[in-house]
Amino acid sequence: MASITTLGVGSGLDLSSILDSLSTAEKASLTPISNQQSAYTAKLSAYGTLSSALTTFQTANTALNSADLFSATTATSSSSAFSATTSGTVVAGKYNVAVTQLAQAQTLTSAVQTSNTTALGDSSATSRTLTIKLADGTSKDISLTTDQTSLTGMRDAINGASAGVSASIIKVADGSYRLSLTASKTGEANAVSSISVTGDDTLNNIVGFDSTKTDTDNPMDVSVAAQDAKLTVNNVEITNSSNTISDALEGITLNLNDITSGNQTLTVAQDTSKATTAISNFVTAYNTLLDQFNTLTKYTAVDVGSDTQDSSNGALVGDSTLRGIQTQIKSMLTNSSSSSTYKTLAQIGITTDPTTGELTLDSDKLKTELTKDPDGIKQMIVGDGKTTGITTTLATNLTSWLSSTGSIQSAKDGVSKTLNNLTQQYNDMNTRVNNLIARYKAQFTQLDVTMSSLNSTSSYLTQQFDTSSSSSSKS
């Protein structure tokens, strides 16, 4: 008997449709698990979004958590001959500055050579050492091969030795070259005091130098003399090897560009712009974070009796981890234990919208308060930088929440564990459903075979009865 390949052929029943309906009904048991998988996957992604939002807010909080912001000053010069920058705590005031001499680096130049590539040393010398000694007592020995005694060879060897000078070749005319050595730093203490070549008198007579001798007695000429910067600040004489002077006035770095015609004025004044910018950025970052909280926890009511949530709801609606963080951050926006008269952000022009919870900044009031008492505001916002202060407390908690052992990671670990369990449940359920459907199909196939066999037997017996009846009637 031929096998049944299409359900229902043998029985005449619509077994394929029946099997499809049974399959659909059984697989419906997988839908709740799939829905949970989707929800928890979205939740895991939402925790990543929450971490990113908190990290962005942490950046703004870190920028504001600096005591230097509230003691910032700015320096203004009455002359283009010098400028200044301030750092740390600097007392506002005015200084009379007169620059009489700029610092410059020494430059030595060799006599003219006809080639920059021809070896200039004694070819019979077995070895030679070029020694460069600076006025501060440091020195560097540079070994040279015969091939390295050309101007180019010495330039490369010196530049590769970190000897306190930089070497270059000047082409003064066709077939005329000079080796130039310039001290790496300005000032008399950084000048070259001597250059000597041991083992090669010929080369020594080309690049030798001794600061105790005159130019006529030296192979290398001083084309630019080393000199220190000289200036007076409030009629106090100052000498420095550099044109950038950071150790003369506490917290003030002077940058000298030129000499002045008599005394010029350097004005140091309070600068509230840095603190204003940091506070404004903090307010913006907080509101952005709040918007993200609202997106992640958005809830839209559905009809009574509905078994599904609105599709626009946030993945963390009702989430205790997010709500806990949001509540804690809000509670940290005041500092009742501040040692100053400032306890709340509202006192410096930052108010909270009672409806949305967003912060609003009154820039004029903030500027007024910063000008009046920057240190008091610092005590409220930064505190001691360790345990007190709005931004200090926030910084500690943000670091904790975002750490590998923090509440967000713990929540993510919990969701991941649930997802793994759901995956196992889905796989187990799917296997059971597939096995059940396979049994249904096998049973339906057997039914088809049995019905087909019965139909064949019925047809055979009917035919036999018809044949017998026909024979009896003829006799």
pLDDT digits 0-9 by tens, 227-279: 999 999 999 999 999 999 999 998 999 999 999 999 999 999 999 999 999 99
Tell me, what amino acid is at 29?
A: S
Residue type, 450: T
Instruction: Locate 205 and state its tokens.
Output: 């007579």
pLDDT at residue 30 is higher than 50:
yes
The candidate with the shortest Cα–Cα distance to 441, out of 6, 3, 2, 1, is: 6
Give the mean model confidence (pLDDT) for residues 1-22. 61
Does residue 316 lie within any of the structural domains?
Answer: yes
pLDDT of residue 78: 96
The reply to whether 116 and 41 lie within a common domain is no
Residue 130 binned pLDDT confidence (cut-offs 50, 70, 90):
very high
DSSP letter string, 217-237: G-SSEEEE--B-EEEEETTEE
Residues 329 and 457 in one domain: yes
Shared domain for 59 and 166, answered yes or no, is no
Residue 64 lies in a domain: yes
* 380 plus 431 within the same structural domain: yes
Structure tokens at 450: 């049995």
Q: Picking from 27-31, 213-217, 336-340, which range would have the lowest pLDDT averaged per residue?
A: 27-31
CA-based end-to-end distance of the chain:
36
Which of 224, 258, 286 is at the close of a domain?
224
Q: Is residue 165 part of a domain?
A: yes
Q: Which one has a higher pLDDT value, 397 or 443?
A: 397
| 256 lies in the same domain as 354 | no
- Inter-axis angle of helices 390-402 and 31-64, to 10 degrees? 150
Q: What is the CATH number of the domain that holds 175?
A: 2.60.40
Q: Which residues contact 114 (CB under 8 A, 6 or more apart)?
A: 175, 176, 177
**Residue where a domain stops, chosen among 224, 257, 289:** 224
Amino acid at residue number 16 = S
pTM higher than the cut 0.85: no
384 and 426 inside one domain: yes
Q: Which region among 8-12, 114-118, 422-426 has the lowest average model confidence (pLDDT)? A: 8-12
Judgement on whether residues 326 and 457 belong to the same structural domain of the protein: yes
**Tokens standing for residue 218:** 């030296």
Calpha distance 9→452 (Å, rounded): 8
Does residue 148 sit in the same domain as residue 179? yes
Residues forming a β-bridge with 229:
240
Predicted confidence at residue 306, as pLDDT, reads 45
Q: Which domain holds residue 86?
A: 73-103+229-270
The answer to whether residue 36 sits within a structural domain is yes
CA distance 280 to 361: 7
Same domain, 137 and 244: no
How far apart are alpha carbons 230 and 186 in whole angstroms?
13
Answer whether residue 475 is part of any domain: no
Residues 117 and 55 in one domain: no
Q: Which of 224, 242, 262 lies at the terminal end of a domain, its last residue? A: 224
Higher pLDDT, 4 or 125: 125
Confidence of residue 464 (pLDDT cuts 50, 70, 90): low
- Contact at 8 Å (CB) between 157 and 130? yes
Question: Is pLDDT at 441 greater than 70 in this prediction?
Answer: yes
Q: Is residue 473 part of a domain?
A: no
Helices (DSSP H) in 81-222: which residue ranges? 151-159, 201-207
Strands (E), 396-436: none
Q: What is the pLDDT of residues 296-333, one digit of tens each?
A: 998 776 554 545 555 568 889 889 999 999 999 999 99
* 158, 143: one domain: yes
Taking CA atoms, 187 is separated from 108, 228, 357, in Å, by: 14, 5, 60
94 in a structural domain: yes
Closest to 75 (Cα-Cα) out of 67, 86, 65: 86
pLDDT higher than 60, residue 384: yes
Residue 472 included in any domain: no
Same-domain check for residues 194 and 313:
no
Q: How far apart are CA 112 and CA 286, in angstroms?
A: 69
Looking at the 3D structure of the chain, how many domains does it have? 3
